[in-house]
Amino acid sequence: MTPREPRVPGRACALAFLAMCTPLLAADFQAGVARARITPPTPFWMSGYAARTHPSEGVEQELWAKALALRDPGGHQVVLVTTDLIGLPRAISDEVAARVAARFHVERAQLVLSASHTHCGPAVRKNLAVLYDFSEEEKRRVDAYGSELVDRLVEVVGRALEDLAPARLSVGHGAVGFAVNRREPTPEGVKIGVNPNGPVDHDVPVLKVTGKDGSLRAVLFGYACHNTTLGGDFYRIGGDYAGYAQAALEKAHPGATALFVMLCGGDQNPNPRGTLDLAVQHGGALAAEVARVLSATIRPVRPPIRTALETVSLDFAPHTRAVFEEEAKSPDVFRQRRSRLMLAAYDEGKPVRQTPYPVQAIRLGRDLTFLALAGEPVVDYALRLKRELAGENLIVAGYCHDVMCYIPSRRVLLEGGYEAVDNTIYYGQPGPFTETVEDAIMAAVRRATGAVGLKARAASGTGGRP
Ligand SMILES: [Zn+2]
C-alpha cells in the first residue's frame, strides 16, 4: 500500500525551470492562513498523564488549530495543519482527509495533520483510550468534541485555501537548549528522568511567510521536545511551552499566524519542568530564538511543491492470547484495560499484529524538505535523517497523521524503558515493535524522499548497534 502522488508533470517542471532563471518569479508562491479555536468545553478530561484523577478546572490558554496553505505557480499545493492537542488518532485524520479531499481537492499526500503533544489539552477520541474509564455522559462529551474537532479542522483547511495570496517563503534555523534527553539509565533499567549525556536535537527550524509588501503573514517553527513542562497535577487547559511560544510571536507580529510543529521529541523533555512559570519561560526562549531567525537574512525558498506519502506496516513482537489472559489479572488498572482490548481483538479473530505507519515528504524547490512522521518518534530518527540527507535543508516532524504509540529507534528498543515498551500499555497496543521498526521506517522515508526528488547519501544506523 503505497499511495503516492503523481510525479511533477511537465508544465510544472517548465515553470520550475523558469522560476530558477527569474528571481522575481522565484518567490511566487501563494500562501493562505487560517485558525480555529479548539478549546474544549470545561470541565473536560485532559490527556497525557495517567495520574490525573478528574477533569480540567478551567482554561489557562486557548487551544488552536491553524492551517498554512501553499500553492506553487504550477498549481501544486500543500496544507500544513497544526493543533494544540496531545495527538490526532488515525480515525480523526482519515475523516478530515476524506472530507478535505472531497470538498477542496487536496489529496492525502498534500495534507499534513500534526499535534503539539501538549499534556494540558483535552482527551481526543480513541487516542490513549486506556487512560480513561469514562461514564456514558463523559464518553458522549468526548465523542462530541471529536466530531466538532473534525468539523473545525476541515473548516480551517478551507479557509486557508480561500486566503491564498502571493507570498514569499524563506527558511532558517536557530537553536534553544531547554530540551534534555529523558531516558535516564539506572541499575533497574532506563527510567524517565534526566540524561544529560543522551542524544538531543536543539535545532529550531523556521519557515517565514511574507506578503507582497514584506509583512509577516505566518511563521512555522518546530522543536523536538515534549510539551510536558506542566505535570499531571496541573488541571487547566493550555498549550504548554509551544502555546506560549506561539502566543508571544503573534503578540510581537500582530496579524501574523505562528504555527508550532512538534519534531522528533519522543524521548525529550523540557528541563527544568514542573511550573507554569517554566512553561512561559521555555515558550519565551523559543519565541525569542524564532524572532532572531526571522530578523536574520534567511534562505529564499522556491517552487515547485512536491509531495509524497508512503504507508508501511510496523510489526509488533509476537504475542499469544495467554499473555493477555495473564495480564488481565494484574492489579494495574491500565494493564487490565489494555488486556481487555487485546482479548477482544483475539475474540474477533483479529489479534493486533501490526500498525500502519504513514511517512510523508514535502519538498519545496531544492530549498526545504519537510518530513512528517507519525507516532512519537525518538530523536534518533531526526539525527539519522540529518546525517543521511546532509546538504538538504530538513525539518523532521513527528506526531503527524496518527499518534498510535512511541516510535523507538532500534537502539532505544534494545535498551528498553518507557519509549520502547511501557508506553504501549497506555496506547492500547500489544507490546513493543520488532527490531525491524527502524529499518522499515527508514525504507519508507527513502521511498517518500525519492518520490520528491531527494536521495539519501548513505545508509547508517542510529548508533549503538551491537
Ligand atoms: Zn509523549
Residue indicated by cell numbers 490527556: 47
Angle between helix axes 276-295 and 240-252 (nearest 10 degrees) is: 50
CA nearest 283: which of 251, 240, 250?
240
Angle between helix axes 379-388 and 437-451 (nearest 10 degrees) is: 50
> How far away, in angstroms, is 428 Cα from ligand 1 center?
14
In this prediction, residue 297 carries a pLDDT of 86
pLDDT at 280 over 80: yes
pLDDT at 82 over 50: yes
pLDDT at 193 over 80: yes
> How far away, in angstroms, is 34 Cα from ligand 1 center?
27
pLDDT at 465 over 60: no
CB within 5 A of ion ligand 1: which residues?
376
> How far away, in angstroms, is 137 Cα from ligand 1 center?
27
> How far away, in angstroms, is 268 Cα from ligand 1 center?
9
Instruction: Output b/e per residue, 23-32; b: 16+ Cβ within 10 A.
Output: eeebbbbbbb
pLDDT tens, position by position, 91-150: 999 999 999 999 999 999 999 999 999 999 999 987 788 888 889 999 999 999 999 999
For residue 122, cis peptide bond before it (omega within 30 degrees of 0): no
> How far away, in angstroms, is 354 Cα from ligand 1 center?
20
In this prediction, residue 206 carries a pLDDT of 98
Spatial distance between the Cα atoms of 348 and 177, rounded to a whole number of angstroms: 48
Q: Is the dihedral of CA 166, 170, 174, 180 positive or negative?
A: positive
> How far away, in angstroms, is 225 Cα from ligand 1 center?
9
Spatial distance between the Cα atoms of 193 and 186, rounded to a whole number of angstroms: 10
> How far away, in angstroms, is 463 Cα from ligand 1 center?
22
> How far away, in angstroms, is 98 Cα from ligand 1 center?
27
Straight-line distance from the first to the last Cα atom of the chain, in angstroms, rounded to the nearest whole number = 32
Instruction: Kindly indicate the confidence band of residue 23, based on its pLDDT and cuts at 50, 70 and 90.
Output: very low
In this prediction, residue 12 carries a pLDDT of 40
Percent of the residues in the chain that have a pLDDT greater than 70, as a whole number = 92
pLDDT at 228 over 60: yes
> How far away, in angstroms, is 461 Cα from ligand 1 center?
23
Is the whole model's pTM more than 0.75, yes or no? yes
In this prediction, residue 7 carries a pLDDT of 39
Residue indicated by cell numbers 531567525: 293
- Other beta carbons less than 10 A from residue 112's beta carbon: 23
> How far away, in angstroms, is 376 Cα from ligand 1 center?
6
Most distant pair of Cα atoms in the chain: their distance:
70
Spatial distance between the Cα atoms of 48 and 127, rounded to a whole number of angstroms: 10
CA nearest 81: which of 152, 5, 163, 177?
152
pLDDT at 262 over 90: yes
φ and ψ at 172, to 5 degrees?
-150, 175
Q: Which three cell numbers stand for residue 239?
A: 498549550
pLDDT tens, position by position, 331-376: 999 999 999 999 999 999 999 999 999 999 999 999 999 999 999 9
